[in-house]
Structure 1
Amino acid sequence: EVLEEIHNGSTGGHLGVTKTLGKVRERFYWVNCTTDVKEWCKKCVVCAASNAYRSSVHETTGQTPASIVMGRELRLPCDLKFGCTPGDDVAGEDYVSTLRQRMDDIHERVRSNIQGASDRMKETYDINANDGRYQPGNQVWLYNPQRRRGLSPKLQSSWEGPYEVVTRINDVVYRIQKLPRGKPRVVHFNRLAPFAGSNDEQAEARVRHVSPPDSELSFEEFMLLHSNGQKARYGVTREEPRDLFQTPADFCLAHCVAADLRMSRGIALIFKKAFGQLEELRRQRPEVGRVLQITAAEQEKERSVFYLVTKQLSHHKPTYQTVWDTLVELRDVLLSQSISSLAIPKIASGLDGLDWRVIRSMLEVLFRFTGIEILVCCYNPRRSLNEKTVDCFFYQTSRCKNGSFCRYRHGPEDDTIR
């Protein structure tokens, strides 16, 4: 136990025989102490592995780590048994200068070998390296190894696209833009790969719409499964406390409206002030269950806006059936236009009064096999940051031990964090 702590412990550091023996004698003494220390250091696996590493010639430097640091090779057990080759006898007064000269020679050879290894690596890399000769207008793939929420890393693809080269900033840096209306970004050419092209738009839409293994749920079957609050989570939606209108430009926007297009309150009023185009929406003949659209070209902006007609008049309330029919229509429109990113508020659950848990389960079920990402923005500038919005699970099932100091809501009267 003494040698285990002094030699192998956190303060030991696997020192050699001399230093380990010195540390032992500062605290203990027993018969055959020196022999025991030598045997312990000799049988130490970590020391043996370190000696093997320090005494082996490295391919890059062409020298052993021991010779680079100490100016001489390690003395191995075979050297002690069979003897070392005779070396040059150096007088004591010349030892320092001779050692310095020897180490300078070793370091010079090491620098030369490292430079040679670097040149070989560059030649090997340049054989298959892309010289970055992408021109503006070329279509490319972008390598993005970032993990997607709700997807296994083994199943997700690390290549995104296609992107279009907008500008060649220099030999290795490009500004690209995701088709059709993505936000420009600057990347290194090592993350790019040529895009060979695709099939016609209809075939591409069919590829993106992967049919589920079983027949799609009907509205009645969905309500039978999820009307009681049972959640459906397939990684389609994600909620973030952020401003809907500050989302990236490659996200299209959508919200619910009435067929009369009054939009006189709530978030519908904000959409009306921000985008307008009421005459264009009326020309599309709004009906319950339909999806109206203002394209990016019509509003001279970077993304389209979708209006989900879920009720006839603005003072009416939508039903789960009308919301379901409208979301089915929205899914088909997004797939036909190859749109993969959508940002929405908590639709039909604010002034309309429907249960957001059911609406979110609808989104998860209907968009599960489409590859469309839905960002739910639940930021409300008028709401206090300390307001409790999530019910406490333990309070509903039994008893919450945190009492009034719980971060979650215990009842309608419990609205703020104390």
Structure 2
Amino acid sequence: MPVILRCLKMSSRLYTPNKLTGQVRHSLLSVSSELKPVNIGEITSAEDSFRLNYVTGNLFSCPEDEALAHCISEDCRMGAGIAVMFKQKFNGVEELKAQKKLPGQCAVLKRDRRFVYYLITKKKASQKPTYDSLRQSLKDMKAHCKLNGVTRISMPRIGCGLDKLSWDRVSLILEQVFKHTNISITVYSLPKRAETRVIQENMRR
């Protein structure tokens, strides 16, 4: 028998369709057994893990490496509300003024291990902010956070004390601005009686 015919007969015996299918199946099973199962629900993007948390308590009791934020006017008066406490705790009024930030922007102080953000939402302390100026100042703050690796911010219910904005709308703006980031925001609220007392005391200063 010619050599070529003998080789063809041998190959047909060695690699019949059934045997070939069995070999492929065995190879696939071997490979799949080495792969770890993946739970799709556990895959989360680092750029899409924003969370909005709520805490009842003193804002300044938050961790000392956590950024802080609140709203002020362009003139940096900080003469009422929680702004008075920020001024007393972090000083820096001249440092803030030197940054020459306008409504819709954000001034920043660096204090120890944290950044302190001053959202400029209006021109003068006697005025009221708009939702648009608040949104723009939050976007400016977000840009600084991303550049500096800030992932945690604590704040009061910004714009909703003496400035009289609606928290329902403000919280929605926060979610819209930060929803595709890895930044977590914790909103601190005092118990109602304590909040009223603090506001009244600060208004008398």
State the partner residue of 2:121. 310
1:235-314 to structure 2, matched below 5 A, reads 236-296=51-111, 301-314=112-125
State the partner residue of 2:164. 353
- Report if aligned partners of 1:236, 1:363 keep a CA contact under 8 Å in 2: no
The code of the aligned residue for 1:279 comes to E
Query: How many percent identity over aligned positions?
Result: 31
The gaps in structure 1 that reach 5 residues or longer are 1-151, 158-207, 211-233, 385-418
Shift of residue 250, structure 1, vs aligned partner: 2.5
Match of 2:43 among 155, 163, 185: 155
- Show CA shifts across 1:30-75 (max 9, x none): xxxxxxxxxxxxxxxxxxxxxxxxxxxxxxxxxxxxxxxxxxxxxx
Matched, 1:325 2:136: yes
- Report if aligned partners of 1:209, 1:335 keep a CA contact under 8 Å in 2: no
- Show CA shifts across 1:222-249 (max 9, x none): xxxxxxxxxxxx8621111021101012
Greater share of helix residues, 1 or 2?
2
Shift of residue 381, structure 1, vs aligned partner: 7.5
**For 1:304, what is the secondary structure of its paired residue?**
strand
- Report if aligned partners of 1:253, 1:343 keep a CA contact under 8 Å in 2: yes
- Show CA shifts across 1:253-288 (max 9, x none): 000000011110100011001110111111101211
- In the comparison of the two structures, how many residue pairs are matched? 156
Q: Tell me the distance in 2 between the aligned counterparts of 1:337 and 1:235.
A: 17
State the partner residue of 2:182. 371
Q: Tell me the distance in 2 between the aligned counterparts of 1:375 and 1:153.
A: 25
State the partner residue of 1:48. none
Q: Tell me the distance in 1 between the aligned counterparts of 2:186 and 2:166.
A: 18
Q: Tell me the distance in 2 between the aligned counterparts of 1:265 and 1:247.
A: 22
Q: Which has the larger radius of gyration?
A: 1
Q: CA RMSD in A?
A: 2.1
- Runs of 4+ displaced beyond 6 Å: none
Q: Tell me the distance in 1 between the aligned counterparts of 2:66 and 2:131.
A: 25
The gaps in structure 2 that reach 5 residues or longer are 1-39, 196-205
Q: Tell me the distance in 2 between the aligned counterparts of 1:374 and 1:343.
A: 6
TM-score in terms of structure 2 length: 0.71
Q: Tell me the distance in 1 between the aligned counterparts of 2:41 and 2:167.
A: 30
TM-score in terms of structure 1 length: 0.35
More RCO (CA 8 Å, sep 6+): 2
